[in-house]
Amino acid sequence: MNTGPQVTFTSDFFKPIPGEDEHTNPGCYGKAWATWLAERLRERGVSVEGVIPEDFGWVVMISRKPFMLWLACSNTDGSTDEWMVYPVAELSVTQRLFKRVDPAPELERLRVHLAEVVPLIPGVTNIVWE
C-alpha cells in the first residue's frame, strides 16, 4: 500500500451523523467529511465511485483500475472537530513484485486536489501536512 501525505485540520462544519459509527468503529466518524470531499472532487472533474465505511472511518473511492485509489477520511482520536485525510494506492501483489504500475502520479494528483480543496472547508483552521 502506498500513501501520500496526510493532512489534518480543525473545523466544526462536519458533524457526526447519528449511528454512523455503527458502520465503522465506536467513535470513528467522517461520513459528512468524506461526502463533502467527494462532492468537491466531482465538481473538479474527478471521477468518484462512492463513499464507503471502513473500520477506521470512511473511504472516498476514486478508482479500482489499474489499482485501487482512494482517500481515507476520519476524525482524529474521537474528536468531533479535528479531521484527517490521506490518499492511498493499493497495488496487487503482481504489480508490487514486477513494479509495472507507478502510483506516484495519481497520489500526487490527489495531493494537489486536497491542497486546493481543504482550505475551502467552512471554518477550517490548523491545517497541518505530515
pLDDT of residue 96: 59
What angle, 0 to 180 degrees and rounded to 10, lies between the N-to-C axes of helices 31-43 and 104-117?
100
- pLDDT of 77-130, one tens digit each? 989 999 999 999 876 666 556 667 787 889 999 999 999 999 999 999 999 999
pLDDT reported for residue 79:
95
User: Does 67 score more than 90 pLDDT?
Assistant: no
**Domain edges within the chain:** 2-129
Q: How many angstroms separate the CA atoms of 19 and 32, rounded? A: 12
Cα separation, 121 vs 17, in Å, equals 18
List pLDDT tens digits, range 11-58: 999 999 999 999 999 999 999 999 999 999 999 999 999 999 999 999
pLDDT of residue 93: 62
For residues 37 and 76, give the distance between their C-alpha atoms in angstroms, rounded to a whole number. Answer: 17
